[in-house]
């Protein structure tokens, strides 16, 4: 099968790198598109042997599975552009935080009766084949579509199906999780440097300790608290360290973080559901570039005087 990415940014790049390393699909079967050819990731994708284009419509026609790897507020814009070109074979997989299957199906149903849509939340460690992915299946997607997606995403890390209403929480936890970890290792390395270690060694030891602990937990049936107990010898160094962490409310900060990310995800979803995207959210040059693509008219991308209207219930699309 052929895989396409609408969007050629961090996520597309990470997924392609992971899929390639896993050998689960040949790069000549992958297409990626973006109106912005200056993105650093575009070069990376080209080097990997991906077919790169500035035309989203071209990606659609070359692909069977279509990953929507653009920012959430761009999704409606993209759906309007490619809607007319979706065919029966296409499986649309949205990776956009907060964008519901319902909103995507509603949009695509203007163009065809049974659009096959799935929604997934993954994370950047797919690039080293240690991602965390969950997905939910839309109304018209089949069991085989779920299996196909799971095969792809399972090649680059952990992957499991969930109910769609859990996905925002997953975004807060494992979607944003790597950022919490990078921050933690930066701080741990600062601690090591303060106590006399050279920086490179401190980063390596901090990252290795985190990796090892996470692997222990994944390989164990034991509770994380039990594993923590096992490494705290009486009166020892580790329990002294844990006390200062607890005194500062360490655990609470992480609960706050998961919550904040999840709440913001739901907020973004709510804003998107307003079905209006201000022209201020799209760069004029980007809009121009899109409209220069063969087959795209201004009516098709819904540009109107008060704002770009998304999720319109009036089919406006006409092919040139």
Q: Which residue has the tokens 């096959």?
A: 116
For residue 8, say whether it is annotated as part of any ligand binding site.
yes
- Rounded CA separation 133/154 (Å): 8
Binding mask 70-99 for a copy of itself (x = CB under 8 A): -x-------------------------xx-
Residue 168 binds to a copy of itself (criterion: CB under 8 A): yes
Q: Which residues pair with 65 in a beta bridge?
A: 3, 91
Stretch that binds a copy of itself, among 26-34, 45-53, 245-253, 282-290 (CB under 8 A): 245-253
Q: Which of 178, 94, 176, 162 is nearest to 130 (CA)?
A: 178
What's the Rg (C-alpha) of the chain? 22
How many Cβ atoms are within 10 Å of 291's Cβ, its own excluded? 15
Please pick, from the candidates 35, 138, 175, 302, the single residue that binds a copy of itself as defined by CB under 8 A: 175
Stretch that binds a copy of itself, among 112-120, 178-186, 272-280, 288-296 (CB under 8 A): 178-186
Cβ nearer to a copy of itself, comparing 86 with 127 = 127
Please pick, from the candidates 42, 82, 95, 203, the single residue that binds a copy of itself as defined by CB under 8 A: 203
Residue 240 binds to a copy of itself (criterion: CB under 8 A): yes
Residue 243 binds to a copy of itself (criterion: CB under 8 A): yes
Residues 100-119 that bind a copy of itself (CB under 8 A): none
Residue 278 binds to a copy of itself (criterion: CB under 8 A): no
- Rounded CA separation 176/123 (Å): 8
Please pick, from the candidates 114, 139, 252, 297, the single residue that binds a copy of itself as defined by CB under 8 A: 252
Q: Tell me how far, at minimum, the Cβ of 82 lies from a copy of itself, in Å.
A: 22
Please pick, from the candidates 22, 39, 48, 254, the single residue that binds a copy of itself as defined by CB under 8 A: 254
The beta-strand segments (E) located in the chain are 3-6, 30-33, 51-53, 65-68, 91-94, 116-121, 131-137, 157-161, 276-277, 303-304, 307-309
- Rounded CA separation 11/70 (Å): 8
Residue 26 binds to a copy of itself (criterion: CB under 8 A): no
> Edge-to-edge strand order for the sheet containing 307-309?
276-277, 307-309, 303-304
Spatial neighbors of 49 by CB under 8 A, at least 6 apart, are: 27, 28
Please pick, from the candidates 130, 150, 164, 273, the single residue that binds a copy of itself as defined by CB under 8 A: 130
Residue 160 binds to a copy of itself (criterion: CB under 8 A): yes
């Amino acid at each position: 099968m052929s895989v396409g990415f609408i969007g050629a940014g961090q996520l597309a790049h990470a997924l392609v790198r992971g899929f390639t390393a896993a050998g689960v699909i040949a790069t000549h079967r992958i297409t990626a598109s973006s109106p912005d050819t200056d993105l650093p990731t575009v070069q990376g994708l080209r080097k990997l042997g991906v077919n790169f284009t500035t035309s989203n419509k071209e990606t659609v026609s070359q692909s069977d599975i279509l990953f929507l790897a653009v920012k959430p507020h761009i999704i409606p814009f993209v759906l309007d552009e490619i809607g007319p070109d979706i065919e029966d074979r296409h499986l649309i997989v949205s990776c956009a935080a907060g964008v519901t299957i319902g909103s995507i199906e509603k949009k695509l149903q203007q163009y065809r009766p049974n659009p096959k849509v799935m929604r997934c939340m993954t994370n950047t460690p797919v690039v080293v084949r240690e991602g965390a992915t969950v997905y939910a299946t839309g109304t018209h997607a089949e069991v085989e579509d779920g299996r196909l997606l799971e095969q792809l995403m399972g090649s680059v890390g952990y992957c499991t199906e969930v109910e769609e209403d859990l996905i925002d929480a997953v975004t807060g936890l494992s979607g944003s999780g790597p950022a919490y970890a990078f921050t933690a290792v930066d701080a741990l390395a600062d601690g090591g440097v303060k106590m006399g270690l050279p920086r490179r060694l401190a980063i390596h030891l901090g990252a290795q300790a985190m990796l090892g602990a996470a692997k222990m937990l994944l390989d164990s049936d034991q509770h994380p608290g039990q594993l923590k107990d096992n490494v705290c010898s009486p009166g020892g160094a580790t329990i002294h360290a844990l006390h200062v962490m607890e005194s500062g409310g360490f655990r609470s900060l992480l609960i706050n973080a998961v919550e904040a990310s999840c709440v913001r995800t739901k907020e973004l979803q709510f804003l998107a559901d307003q079905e209006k995207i201000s022209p201020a959210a799209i760069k004029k040059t980007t809009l121009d570039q899109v409209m220069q693509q063969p087959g795209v008219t201004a009516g098709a991308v819904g540009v109107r005087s008060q704002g770009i209207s998304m999720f319109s219930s009036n089919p406006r699309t006409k092919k040139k």
